[in-house]
């Protein structure tokens, strides 16, 4: 944008020097970016102070108005996207609150040990396995136990753990993780999908993300939920019920 006055000054439509004064005495932003209102004010000031002997050409004026129109459209798009994002967050939060008291199945591989009782380890196999084993690790990644699960059918499976390490000693209460190693009937390795089940005790929202609290420090994101059901419809072991993760 060219502003002609007694002293000629040049400024771009999108940028202005940080700290410089704009029409109305307002300073440009620290990044030097003009808002649509500031751009329009500069355009008006240019028209007010143009040289009568050398007025702005129609093509130049049309070009600057087109730039302003594009700027306004981008501003409106950003505003609409921000509104949609806020609405999406609100909808997710409302949906997560409705899950309190419901039993959920979610992707994950966390298990909890409390007072010597461990929750079952659940996983899904894409095909039948001739042999399968489950490795349990502590929070530091150290292997504490390996359970031989034997042959397993395709689909959902569970393996119980007595909460003891390889030496037969009870492990400390806390959160552990597990992984599955399985082979199909041809002896080839197959990938198992691990998951968790639990009744939602409460919901916490952190930085706009909803977390479902299943008790005993187990949290899952709403997006990880694979299935929702009424408590008591899933098969659980007595050890899991004693943990308080499931309520009946």
Locate 181 and state its tokens: 């190693």
The answer on pLDDT for 188 being more than 90 is: yes
pLDDT band for position 128 (50/70/90)? Answer: very high
Do residues 197 and 105 touch, judged by C-beta distance below 8 A?
Answer: yes
Average pLDDT over residues 20-46: 60
Share the mean pLDDT of the chain: 74
Q: Please give the pLDDT value at position 197.
A: 79
Note the pLDDT tens digit of each residue in 62-108: 676 677 677 777 777 777 776 665 556 556 656 777 888 888 888 88
Tell which wins on pLDDT, 222 or 56: 222
Query: What is the 3-state secondary structure of the chain?
Result: CEECCCCCEECCCCECCCCCECCCCCECCCCCECCHHHHHHHHHHHHHCCCCCCCCCHHHHHHHHHHHHHHHHHHHHHHHHHHHHHHHHHHHHHHHHCCCCCEEEEECCEEEEECCEECCEEEEECCCEEEEEEEEECCCCCEEEEEECCCECCEEEEECCCCECCCCCECCCEEEEEEEEEEECCCCEECCEEEEEEECCEEEEECCEEEEECCCCCEEEHHHEEEEECCCCCCCCHHHHHHCCCCC
Tell which wins on pLDDT, 238 or 166: 166
Tell me which of 5-9, 141-145, 214-218 is least confident: 5-9
The answer on pLDDT for 152 being more than 90 is: yes
Tell which wins on pLDDT, 157 or 29: 157
Q: Please give the pLDDT value at position 17.
A: 44
pLDDT band for position 26 (50/70/90)? Answer: very low
Tell which wins on pLDDT, 18 or 115: 115
CA 97 – CA 200 distance, rounded (Å): 9
Tell which wins on pLDDT, 75 or 213: 213
Tell which wins on pLDDT, 30 or 232: 232
Tell which wins on pLDDT, 30 or 75: 75
Q: What is the pTM of this model?
A: 0.52
Q: Please give the pLDDT value at position 55.
A: 62
Q: Please give the pLDDT value at position 233.
A: 60
Average pLDDT over residues 169-178: 91
Tell me which of 58-67, 163-172, 219-228 is least confident: 58-67
Q: Which domains does the chain have, with CATH numbers?
A: 2-95 (no CATH), 103-243 (2.60.40.4070)
pLDDT band for position 12 (50/70/90)? Answer: very low
């Amino acid at each position: 944008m060219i502003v002609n006055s007694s002293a000629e000054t040049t400024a771009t439509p999108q940028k202005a020097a940080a700290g410089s004064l704009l029409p109305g005495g307002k300073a440009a932003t620290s990044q030097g970016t003009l808002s649509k209102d500031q751009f329009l004010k500069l355009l008006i000031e240019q028209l007010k102070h143009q040289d009568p002997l050398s007025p702005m050409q129609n093509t130049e004026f049309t070009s600057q108005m087109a730039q302003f129109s594009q700027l306004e459209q981008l501003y409106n798009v950003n505003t609409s996207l921000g509104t949609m994002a806020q609405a999406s967050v609100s909808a997710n939060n409302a949906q997560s609150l409705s899950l309190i008291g419901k039993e959920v199945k979610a992707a994950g591989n966390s298990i909890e040990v409390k007072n010597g009782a461990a929750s079952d380890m659940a996983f899904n196999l894409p095909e039948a396995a001739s042999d399968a084993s489950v490795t349990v690790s502590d929070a530091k990644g150290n292997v504490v136990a390996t359970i031989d699960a034997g042959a397993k059918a395709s689909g959902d499976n569970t393996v119980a753990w007595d909460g003891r390490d390889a030496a037969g000693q009870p492990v400390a209460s806390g959160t552990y993780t597990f992984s599955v190693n399985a082979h199909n009937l041809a002896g080839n390795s197959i990938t198992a999908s691990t998951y968790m089940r639990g009744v939602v005790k409460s919901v916490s929202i952190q930085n706009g993300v909803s977390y479902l609290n299943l008790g005993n420090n187990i949290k899952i994101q709403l997006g990880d939920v694979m299935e929702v059901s009424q408590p008591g419809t899933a098969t659980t072991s007595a050890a899991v019920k004693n943990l308080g993760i499931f309520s009946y």
